[in-house]
Structure formats: C-alpha cells, structure tokens
Amino acid sequence: MTIRHHLSDQLLMAYAAGDLPEAFNLVTATHVSLCDECRARLAAFEAVGGAVLQEADSVEMSDASLAACLDRIEQMPQATHRAPMRRAGCFPAPLAGYIGGGPESVKWRNLGAGVKQAILRTGRDASARLLYIPAGQAVPDHGHRGLELTLVLQGAFRDDADRFGPGDIEIADEAVEHTPVAEAGPACICLAATDAPLRFNALIPRLAQPFLRI
Amino acid sequence: MQADKVETDWAALVLRVRDHQDKAAFAALFRHFAPRVKAFLMKSGADAGLAEECAQDVMATLWQKAHLFDPTRASVATWVFTIARNRRIDALRKARRPEPEDLPWGPEPEPDQAEVFEAQQETDKLGQALAQLPDKQRALIERAFYGDLSHSEIATETGLPLGTIKSRIRLALDRLRQQMS
Ligand SMILES: [Zn+2]
C-alpha cells in the first residue's frame, strides 16, 4: 500500500494531546494503523507531551499518597492480557472494534444508486460514517461545513486534481469544492468523519434532508 | 540542564518494577512523576482532590503495565504522559480515544542501552527546546497538551525539533517490517 495523502501535523498533535472528538480519534487511529510514516510522526508529538510533563511545575502529593498507591496496587487484579483487537478484512483493528468485524458485518443503509452508508456510534461533537460507493458513483457530498476527513479503506476515488487510494486520507474544509467519483474496479469503501453539526436530530423530518447528506 | 535529569535512569527503575516488583524503585518514580502528573491534571481542569486521585491511578497503571513499556521507543516521561492523557480523557472528557493497532515490536527483555539513552535524551532535548521558545508559543503548546485547545486552535508549526525522533521511530518500523516479511 503506497499512501500519498497523510494526516496533518495539526491532527496528529491534537490526537497525541487528546484534543480530538471521538470520531476524529477513530479516523486518526485507523490511518495510523495503516501508515508507518504517521505512526512515527505521532510518536514525535507524544514525545512533546512527555517534555511538557517533564518540564511542568509539580504540585505536592499528600503525605500518605505513596502508601495509598501501593495499597491500591496490592488490591489490583493481575493484569489480564486482553486479546488485542484484530484487523478484519480492509478494516484496521480500531475500526473493526466499532463494527464488531469487517465490511461484511456493517449494517448498511441504502442511499440510492448503489451508494450505502452506516453511521457509527460516537460522541456527539463529531460524527463518523462508513460509505460504500460503487465504481463511477459520486462520493456523497462533503457538506462544506466544518472539517471532514475521508479515509479510503478499499478501492479509490478521484477528482480532477487528485486520486485517493487505500490508506489515503482527504482532509477537506469549507474551502474544498469538488465532486470526487469512485474509480472503476471494486467499490470504494471509506470512513468519513465531520465536526459539522448533525442535522438529522433536528425537528425537520429526515426525508427533507438534502439527498445523501448526514 | 540540571544534573539530576541526566543522571536518573528512569527507564532502569521501570524495568526494576517490571522484573522485581521493586517498591524502592517505584517510590523514586512516584516522587518524581506523581507531583508532575498532579500538576498536569490540575492544569487540565481537575480540582486538587481529583488530580491527586487520578495521579495515584496513573502511577498504579505504571506498575501494572510496566511489562508493556519499551524504553527504546519512548522515554518514561513520554510513557507517563500517555497514561495521564488517557486518564484525563476518561475522567474529564468521557470521550473514547481508540488506539492504533499494536505492532509486534517489543519490549525486548534486554533493551539496547544506547537506544534507551537516545530516547531519554530526546525528551530532555525537547524539554530544553520547549523552554527556549517564546513564551506565547510555548504556552500554546502546553495548553494543547493540557487538553485546553480544540484541534482547530492547535498551531500547525511547533518550532520544536521533531525530525530526529520521527526518523528514529521510522527506522525502527522499517526494521520491524523487514523482519515481518
Ligand atoms: Zn500517513
């Protein structure tokens, strides 16, 4: 897998610092699972966290705290070696953990023209969904509201300017104006997340939502 | 640079906790890191009581997960930071933070001492570089790591020398991929 489109420094630092909404955490962890370059960059940002902690002031702990901590350790159950999450098909482990399996386990909803989506359960400050786009179909609208991350897991999509294949991530904000289309070949499966406000909880009936949008 | 920062081999202390459940080694780690974790959590918005409680949790996790610590990849300070960050997210933000897939790359029972030293040095050097940044820029980075900024407020340019750390981890990953294939 040759990845050409990576996470931004801003996203990697925010992920290292723990500043991202859950849906963006999921996309970031999924890309890093596929991309050694971003894994190494993430390690560097985590080292900044270490330096911040090391240089930080300290606030005295109470006198009994060490003894209390040792007591707590005595009472802790033996660390159980949890079986690590596994990759499932084209879904890296963090995503497979949300789905409970690979692409075959997704509960898709048809959006028309063979395009399908599944909304994942995440915190409300941003939303994540899986998209299934048959060859030649347009990738559902990027909304042009807020920040949208689109990570390709299978297949590819392209617009006039660029191509996004497996592992590539597109980072789009309000400024991006284009209509990417799934490439010929196997259907394109993407994980997309946006921090634009979710509209479908509003009082407007679902059917009145613009076609193909969350 | 202060002498004690160079001379205390924090990684060796963690390995003594791992291999011998050494309470004296743990006490030294606790005295150094727990007050820093407490300060870190208070700057993240926890009150003193909650921060103290969570700092104990963080140190207990260090004991419990000592077998997972790889001193050739990260300094103890960096590792403690990641535990504190995760505790903060659980306690204060209640958000989930999925982790990337684990790689089958260590820790080795007998880590290469030169690599351990290098990882520790990197954190020290970063600390110095951080201290030398203009106040405003440093404050922005610190606030990001205290969880006090949203992702859109984070500066894209830190002014910190991150290239060497990235390259070192990248090389280690390339080596691992070769062994796996
Ligand atoms: Zn990448």
Question: By mean pLDDT, which of A197-201, B8-12, B132-136 is the weakest?
Answer: A197-201
Distance from CA of A49 to the nearest CA of B (A): 6
Q: Give the type of residue at A40.
A: A
CA-wise closest residue to A181 among A209, A162, A153? A162
Continuous segment of H or E residues that includes residue A164? strand A163-164
Q: Tell whether B167 is within 8 A of chain A (Cβ).
A: yes
Spatial distance between the Cα atoms of B77 and B33, rounded to a whole number of angstroms: 8
A61 to chain B: nearest residue by CA?
A: B35
pTM score:
0.92
Using DSSP, state whether A138 is helix, strand or coil: strand
Spatial distance between the Cα atoms of B83 and A124, rounded to a whole number of angstroms: 24
Domain-embedded: residue A61: no
**Residues of chain A neighbouring B155 (CB-CB closer than 8 A):** 10
Tens-place pLDDT, residues A24-66: 999 999 999 999 999 999 999 999 999 999 988 899 999 999 9
Number of folded domains that form chain A: 1
CATH at residue A189: 2.60.120.10
Spatial distance between the Cα atoms of B58 and B181, rounded to a whole number of angstroms: 37
| pLDDT exceeds 90 at position A79 | no
Domain-embedded: residue A69: no
Tell me the mean pLDDT in the region B121-131: 94
**Ramachandran region, residue A123 (left: φ > 0; alpha: ψ -120 to 50; beta: rest):** beta
Task: Give the phi and the psi of residue A189 in degrees, each rounded to 5.
Answer: -115, 125
Q: Give the type of residue at B123.
A: T
Question: Residue A37: which domain range?
Answer: 1-54+85-214
Q: Which tokens sit at B165?
A: 């750390």
Q: Any idea which architecture B3-180 has in CATH?
A: Orthogonal Bundle (1.10)
Domain positions in chain B are: 3-180
Q: What is the rounded average pLDDT for all residues in chain A?
A: 87
B53 to chain A: nearest residue by CA?
A: A65
CA-wise closest residue to A200 among A143, A152, A157, A149? A143
Instruction: Give me the pLDDT at residue B151, please.
Output: 87
Model confidence at B77, pLDDT cuts 50, 70, 90, reads: very high
Q: Do B99 and A54 touch (CB under 8 A)?
A: no
| pLDDT exceeds 50 at position A207 | no
Q: In chain A, what is the greatest distance between 2 CA atoms, to the nearest angstrom?
A: 67
CA-wise closest residue to B35 among B52, B60, B57? B52
Q: Which residues contact A79 (CB under 8 A, 6 or more apart)?
A: B64, B65, B67
Spatial distance between the Cα atoms of A187 and A135, rounded to a whole number of angstroms: 5
Residue A86 · residue B100 · CB < 8 Å: no
- Residue A214 vs residue A132, higher pLDDT: A132
What residues of chain A, 21 to 80, have a C-beta less than 8 Å from chain B? 21-22, 24-26, 29-30, 32-33, 36-37, 39-62, 65-66, 68-70, 72-73, 76, 79
The full DSSP string for B114-135 is HHHHHHHHHHHHHHHHHHHS-H
What residues of chain B, 69 to 88, have a C-beta less than 8 Å from chain A? 73-75, 77-82, 84-86, 88
| pLDDT exceeds 80 at position B54 | yes
Q: Do A122 and B96 touch (CB under 8 A)?
A: yes
Residue B103 · residue B109 · CB < 8 Å: no
**Residues of chain A neighbouring B97 (CB-CB closer than 8 A):** 18, 20, 22, 25, 29
Domain-embedded: residue A106: yes
What residues of chain A, 154 to 213, have a C-beta less than 8 Å from chain B? none
Q: What is the rounded average pLDDT for all residues in chain B?
A: 91
Model confidence at A213, pLDDT cuts 50, 70, 90, reads: very low
Instruction: Give me the pLDDT at residue B101, please.
Output: 94
Domain-embedded: residue A124: yes
Model confidence at B180, pLDDT cuts 50, 70, 90, reads: confident
